[in-house]
Chains A and B, each alone.
Chain A
Amino acid sequence: MAISAEAPAIPGILPGKVGVWWFLASEIMLFGGLIASFIVFRLGSGGWHGEAAHLSVPIAAVNTLVLLTSSLTMVQAFATAERGDQRGPRTYLALTILLGLAFLGIKAYEYTSEILAGFTPGTGIFWSFYYTMTGLHALHVLAGAVVNSILLGAGRLRNPHRLELAGLYWHFVDVVWIFLFPLLYLA
């Protein structure tokens, strides 16, 4: 009488996907809280154009491009896996990880030049927000890269479901940056 702990899920519902969406909902509230606080402060202080002018828009634009490209490769990894491709997912996932690391490298260069120019988290409220928001985002990018590396290393790419879940998270991290970039650099 063999019974399985893997209870049969209700047809059409993938538990992993449901779980990831609930997780992302709480993540949205985390960044939502930060972004809402930032907006309220910014309105209250009449704009931070002076401070924001010290940020490098070109570097951030390049970084945005890097991150968007990584989302594209993530989609490709999932698409090729669904087609049953053997090498495709591997290549595209590796590219996604590399692009994520490139994002972090460029961000680190940006931090270094800002700190050398004398802008630290303690310089003022704008800089407190800038370092906290981008830092928390960078941690999420790092976490995404780690998750992708585990998938790549464990060689569990034949099941596209896992790639899809990792992709959901990766795209979420990407979307957060799409909010942060204009808020911090352009506004």
Chain B
Amino acid sequence: MRESGAGTLDTHEHHAERGFWRTYVFSTDHKMIGKQYLSLGLFWAVVGGLLAHVMRWQLAWPDTAVPGWGEVGPETYNVLVTMHGTIMVFFVAMPILLGAFGNFLIPLMIGARDMAFPRLNMLSVWVFALASLVLLVSFFVPGGAASAGWTGYPPLSAKVEYTGVNWGLNLWILAHALEFAAFLMGGVNYLTTAIALRVPGMTFFRLPLVIWQQLTATTLFLLSVGPLIAGAVMLLLDRIIGTHFYAAEGGGDPLLWQHLFWFFGHPEVYVILLPAVGLVLDVLPVFARKPIFGYRWIIYSTIAAGGLSFIVWAHHMFVSGMDPRLAMPFSITTILISVPFAYIMFAMIATLYKGSIRFDTPMLWALGFIAMFIVGGLTGIFNGSAPADIYISDTYFVVAHFHYTLFSSVVFGGFAGFYFWFPKMFGRLLSEPLGKIHFWLTLVFFNVTFFPLHNIGLAGMMRRIANPLEYEYLVPHQWINVVATVGAILLLASQIPFVVNVVWSLLAGKTAPKNPWEANTLEWTAPSPPPPLNWGATLPVVYRGAYEYSLPDMAEDWLPQDRALAARSR
């Protein structure tokens, strides 16, 4: 069966054969599709980030005009809250961590010439672009964009009169549906590619961990999104043709949505987290010059965490009005999830033990991820304990917790991967000093922005309120909001070195060698950047696992996966 649109062709004539449109726009090349996902994700990161800054300004100095925006009313504030969450989770984290890195790395790391279904892959990114367009349009329809929170709890989201938002919310649902379709196509492609197209010698237990994490994340997404799609169909029908799924007066139940949403929602956070963990796991051994600590145990832990994530969803609903007797069982499963993740975090730290650690920019970001994610993981225990959650749920403590986990995944994990694979993606080296400045500024101002949110959350500040000064008990703590907002502005400014670095590198950066970091995995055996179909006439053959660094009886401290050694078979 022919699934590939590329057919049989000669690599050297490849570029001449294809015009601008087939190369950059309607490309079936997994590397170009990865870059397209990356560009769309970065575009939305800018939008989502700016929305966050409007929000933060309003929280620090309520009801004053935001520079470049104007005054923020309560309706607008709800739109900001909703769209910031939606954009960051579905249109930034997923396209960058799954879409960009998954597409770029999977074929290159398993030794495939492209995805199993290249045209489906192209369709995936175009459906995602369509989803982006729909979401963008939803800002400009009469009534404004969705404002029922990124979780869209009905009845607030189910009836127009409760929010005043009509088509904005319908389009919000449609944008999600298209986004899910895009990632379903991508997911089927990732899994099929990794199962069917591995190069000879690339067994499952020789796959780089980033591939394992991508595959686990994709599996979680494929198996959890169905119920949410069902829920979204019901929500749309409630809104448009007057069914009663979420309307108590017609026999429905608003809590049904919360169950369906969070059944998806908790695996979804691992859909974002696991690829980031994978990026960090692949960066660490290269710069510690050591094998990853406990390769197989990490895989088992990942799968265990993925499996557990299907039976923890009600920890988002401790005080939701569901039967309170369900809380403790879910509290136990939730807290159990700390076990596999504790293993993975400890394994990351143990990988450093007796290493020879180089502090290049990708490594700094990976180390930053470890430190920040430990904070986020530990604060999760507060939320996971049902009695503590009575007080903590819906406060800024939760906001601080999930920014320490998700921001550290997307930004620290994402930049670790970006700085590491940039030479492979674009064939140019980035500036190390600028990268380091970018890292340290981001690390400092990330903490200035988000750490104080723990404190104001413990002081009782609720999520999604537009004006904390309306509450007398919050007035004495208002300075924390000011600190966080100033931190956020400086955090945004900290990204300037990054932009300068990338632009400068693409225009005038040094040409990247094939393997600038002396890494073992297969993508470094292809040219930088790899041509269409990745390798010349012969594909590499794999002889060993991905992390054979500093073998005792070898002169070099690295041993690529594809190098044949006559005498030994490791």
- Please report A residues at the B interface, Cβ cutoff 8 Å: 1-7, 9-10, 13-16, 18-19, 22-23, 25-34, 36-37, 40-41, 44-45, 121-122, 124-129, 131-132, 136, 159, 161-162
B55 to chain A, nearest CB (A): 32
**Residue B311 is within 8 A (CB to CB) of chain A in the complex:** no
Within 8 A of A (CB), among B161-208: 184, 187-189, 191-193, 195-198
Please tell me which one of the listed residues A7, A14, A159 contacts residue B113 in the complex, with CB atoms under 8 A apart. Answer: A7
A36 to B233, CA, bound (A): 15
A162: chain B residues within 8 A (beta carbon): 1
Whether the pair A7, B114 counts as a contact (CB closer than 8 A) is yes
Q: Is A32's CB under 8 angstroms from B226's CB? A: yes
C-alpha spacing A26/B245, complex, angstroms: 22
CB-CB under 8 A for A125 and B8, given A1-B537, A15-B192: no
> Which one of A31, A32, A128 lies within 8 Å of B244 (CB-CB)?
A128
- Judged by DSSP, the binding face of A is helix
Q: Does B307 sit within 8 A of A, measured CB to CB?
A: no
The size bracket of the interface on B is: 35 or more
In the complex, chain B residues whose CB is within 8 Å of the CB of A13: 195-196
Given contacts A15-B196, A33-B227, A128-B237, contact A4 B7 (CB under 8 A): yes
Contact partner of B251 (CB less than 8 A), chosen from A7, A29, A34, A124, is A124
A6-B113, A18-B195, A23-B188 given; 11 more Cβ-contact pairs under 8 Å: A1-B536, A5-B114, A5-B533, A6-B7, A7-B114, A9-B116, A15-B1, A18-B191, A22-B187, A41-B252, A125-B244
26 A/B residue pairs, CB under 8 Å, sorted by A = A1-B537, A2-B9, A2-B10, A3-B113, A4-B4, A5-B7, A6-B4, A6-B6, A9-B116, A13-B196, A18-B195, A19-B188, A19-B189, A22-B222, A25-B223, A29-B223, A29-B224, A37-B256, A41-B251, A122-B243, A122-B244, A125-B251, A127-B243, A132-B243, A136-B233, A161-B1
Which A residues are CB-close (under 8 A) to B7?
Answer: 4-6
Q: Are B227 and A15 in contact (CB under 8 A)?
A: no
Expressed in whole angstroms, the Cα–Cα distance for A44 and B237 within the complex equals: 22
Contact A128 B252, beta carbon cutoff 8 Å: yes
B188–A121 touching, CB < 8 Å: no
Most chain A beta carbons < 10 A, residue from B1, B4, B118, B225: B1
Residues in A with CB closer than 8 Å to B192 are 15, 18-19, 22
Q: Could you say which residues of chain B place their CB within 8 Å of the CB of A22?
A: 187-188, 191-192, 222
Query: In this assembly, does B128 line the interface, its C-beta being within 8 Å of a C-beta of chain A?
Result: no
Tell whether A33 pairs with B230 under 8 Å between CB atoms, given A45-B251, A125-B250. yes
- Taking Cβ atoms with an 8 Å cutoff, the residues of B that contact A are 1-12, 112-114, 116-118, 120, 184, 187-189, 191-193, 195-198, 222-231, 233-234, 237, 241-245, 250-253, 256, 260, 263, 533, 536-537, 539
Q: Is the CB of B229 within 8 A of A30?
A: yes
In the bound assembly, the distance between CA atoms of A95 and B50 in angstroms comes to 57
Indicate whether A6 sits within 8 Å of B2 (C-beta atoms), given known contacts A18-B196, A26-B222, A41-B253: yes
| Structural contact, A28 and B117, CB atoms closer than 8 A | no
How near does chain A come to B327, taking the closest CB pair, in angstroms? Answer: 18
Question: Which of B5, B189, B226, B256 is close to A30, meaning CB atoms less than 8 Å apart?
Answer: B226
B250 near A10: Cβ-Cβ < 8 Å: no
Separation of A34 and B244 alpha carbons in the complex (Å): 14
| Closest CB in chain A relative to B332 CB, distance in Å | 22
Contact A28 B113 (CB under 8 A): no
A40 partner residues in chain B, CB cutoff 8 A: 256
For A37, list chain B residues within 8 Å (CB). Answer: 230-231, 234, 245, 256, 260
